[in-house]
């Protein structure tokens, strides 16, 4: 059961600090994943809670203004993604209160949050030596439908029971360009990985 934690329990970090943390914990996280026959994963969520409301079950949490916070240690095993938590990092946007699949509600993902999540993905994937592909970086919705080249449970995502559809849709009033159901059929996860890969390309 997830619990709300106060902001004072969170560590505010820069993208470069997050990159260093991922590098520092790389061996530990890889060993953890390999102990259950997997490779490390980065799972992307939203909380379906409020802006500024922090939780105890995600490692990296991004607030409305795009500021990045870390809870606990990156190799702690938290309950963010059902049957996929060992050797996995949970990254979440603090948003999504009252969202449904037709209307992302009064606390939809902001453009700043989406951009910071892409930066966080790039930093974590760099520190952990991971490819930015769906196999290693997936939204909770994608993971729920077993789209990560592994099978961990019955499907419960947007293509099946729609029990979890985190970040499947990213369109907001202020940023209509983020609509993932564009003509090319791309979804929220594709948008986030695409942006993260763009940031990765800027570094080389």
Write out the residues near Zn ion by the rule CB under 5 A. 45, 140, 166
The CA R_g of the chain, rounded to the nearest whole Å, is 15
In angstroms, what is the minimal distance from the CB of 204 to Zn ion?
A: 31
Q: What is the nearest approach in angstroms of Zn ion to the Cβ of residue 132?
A: 19
Nearer CB in complex with Zn ion: 63/166: 166
- For Zn ion, the closer of residues 30 and 71 by Cβ is 71
Of 45 and 195, nearer to Zn ion (C-beta) is 45
Closest approach of Zn ion to the CB of residue 112, in Å: 20
Ramachandran assignment for 21, one of left (phi > 0), alpha (psi -120 to 50 degrees), beta (any other): alpha
Does residue 38 sit in helix, strand or coil? coil
Question: CA-to-CA distance for 138 and 141, rounded, in angstroms?
Answer: 8
Q: Rounded distance, CA 175 to CA 104, Å?
A: 12
* Min dist. Cβ of residue 8 to Zn ion (A): 24
In 3D, which of 92, 105, 101 has the Cα closest to residue 52?
92
Q: Considering the complex, state which of residue 87 and residue 96 has its C-beta at the smaller distance from Zn ion.
A: 96
């Amino acid at each position: 059961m997830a619990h709300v934690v106060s902001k004072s329990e969170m560590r505010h970090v820069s993208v470069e600090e997050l990159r260093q943390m991922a590098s520092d914990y790389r061996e530990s996280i890889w060993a953890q994943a390999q102990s259950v026959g997997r490779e490390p994963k980065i799972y992307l969520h939203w909380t379906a809670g409020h802006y500024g409301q922090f939780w105890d079950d995600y490692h990296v949490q991004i607030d409305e203004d795009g500021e990045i916070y870390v809870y606990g240690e990156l190799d702690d095993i938290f309950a963010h993604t059902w049957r996929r938590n060992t050797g996995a990092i949970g990254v979440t946007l603090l948003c999504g209160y009252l969202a449904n699949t037709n209307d992302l509600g009064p606390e939809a993902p902001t453009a700043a949050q989406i951009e910071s999540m892409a930066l966080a993905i790039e930093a974590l994937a760099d520190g952990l030596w991971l490819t930015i592909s769906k196999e290693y970086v997936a939204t909770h919705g994608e993971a729920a439908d077993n789209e990560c080249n592994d099978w961990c449970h019955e499907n419960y995502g947007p293509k099946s029971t729609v029990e979890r559809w985190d970040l499947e849709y990213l369109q907001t009033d202020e940023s209509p360009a983020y609509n993932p159901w564009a003509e090319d059929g791309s979804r929220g996860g594709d948008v986030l990985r695409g942006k993260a890969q763009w940031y990765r390309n800027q570094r080389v």
